[in-house]
A and B are shown apart, each in its own frame.
Chain A
Amino acid sequence: MAFQIECPNCGVRPAWEFHYGGATRNRPEPQAPSADWVEYIYSRSNTRGEESEWWYHRSACKLWFLAERDTSTNHVLETRRFEAQENVGG
């Protein structure tokens, strides 16, 4: 099946309408050792399987939201709005 994503605002749309924002991850404290920053800036989990990610509805409502996606099939298990008090990293 074609790769589709459900935008929390607009509903199910083809994937090309969206921009991939990367897997969620935690930003180090400003004073953290530089090794931690190198890791944060460059290393990627590049997961083969389920991953939680940021997506952006570039071609429509411009919402940044969260998705759980199986990266081996592009099957999207869940999408949801980001809540301001959440600490998901990015």
Chain B
Amino acid sequence: MPSPMWRQHELKESYDVVVIGGGVHGLATAYYLTKLGVRNIAVLEAKYLGFGGSGRNTAIVRSNYRTPEGIAFYDHSVKLYEQLAAELEFNVMFSQHGHFTLAHNERGVTGLIERANNNRMVGVNSRVIYPAEIQKLVPHLNVFGHSRFPIMAALYHPPGGIIRHDAVVWAYARGADRGGAHIHQQTEVTAIDVHQGKVTSVRTNRGTIRAGAVVNATAGYASTISKMAGVPLPIESHPLQACVTEPLKPFLDAVIVSSTLHVYVSQTDRGELVLGAEVDDHQSYSIKGSLAFLEGAATHLLELFPFLANVKVLRQWAGLCDMTPDYSPIIGEAPDVKGFLMTVGWGTYGFKAGPASGHLLAERIASGKTPKLLEPFGLERFANDCLVGEKAAASVSH
């Protein structure tokens, strides 16, 4: 019989670090902590590993962001992803066949040029290309045919691509388990005790745990956990929907994104098309899909690939996204509660960041020092008026 990927344990009375949330961020943080020799740690997951966004995302990985801070951070993550299969001895099926962000008007083209310049300044492979080259690289895209919003340019990012998201989650879980971390599923945090400005323990449906440090890695549920520690967040949870079609012969190896058309699409190794849009307009903790989303995604996809008109949708789903005002994450210790750390605000774009934030946050916890790449992302940036504006690079292209 194959051995399980991670073991079950009794809940101990005390851990040095308690990580709340069994998604890519919680598990990567736990894995990199064990690598740094911090082994008395627990990951608490209310449901099952991958229940949240980590099991619901559309698996796009890229680093062609807008700000120098954002680009450098996501570039670190892409580089870790490139080594991840070897590091964790698990096939995460990372396929880097390029990422195209389309522009259909002059304002859009200007935005792409700004991103390309910033990308190259930081050393990220990214450039603006025009219709003839776009058509050559993506032969089936409707570049020159009739369309309401003709394609004027694209930001071409060759290292971008897609990954097998479940494999990443399982691989980190196995790595953390092998390093000595305890993974507890079906373990829901119900309260957090703070004494004299310092976190002391975490209460769960299975009992109370004393904790040296607590990490909030619950994405769409981050506000509910942060409230338990008395830390208000600039976060609003919104549903994000996606769907897949029946499998087709491989015709698309790149990821195609259009903010103007509110749609993005890629083709999986199984041949299914994965498509999505931007978040639903309203705050919510309900993750039901809607017909309005399907109609919109289908209509917009047909502008890009008209020949898909008779393709059937197989399934549709939604997940929760923890949206911040500047479309950048919040990583680090809460300024007013010692020992309460967070890696939240992952919005619609956090899967690609799991390795970088896990790696850097583990370093922050083990050393007590904030690594340079994390400095721009603290919670205090809002009070200090130092936002990291990534909306232009992250609102439709997750």
Contacts and interface: CB of A to CB of B under 8 A. Distances in A.
Interface of A: 2-3, 14-16, 18-20, 22-23, 35, 38-39, 41-46, 48, 71-74
A46 B283 contact: yes
A44 B290 CA distance: 25
Dominant SS among interface residues on chain B: loop
Contacts of A14: 292
Contacts, number: 58
A35 B281 CA distance: 28
Given A44-B233, A46-B235, A71 B223 contact: no
A38 B383 contact: yes
B283 A2 contact: no
Contacts of A45: 223
A87 B288 CA distance: 33
Contact of A48 (B285, B292, B383): B285
Contacts of A15: 282, 290
Given A41-B382, A48-B224, A71-B283, 9 more contacts: A3-B286, A15-B282, A19-B281, A39-B232, A42-B234, A42-B325, A46-B235, A72-B285, A74-B282
Contacts of B285: 48, 71-72
Interface residues on B, range: 20 to 34
Interface in B213-259: 221, 223-224, 232-237
Given A44-B223, A48-B224, A74-B288, A20 B282 contact: yes
Nearest to A5: B282
A2 B234 contact: no
Contacts of A23: 283
Contact of A3 (B283, B290, B325): B290
A61 B291 CA distance: 23
Nearest to A74: B286
Q: Most A CB atoms within 10 A — which of B237, B281, B282, B291?
A: B282
A42 B284 contact: no
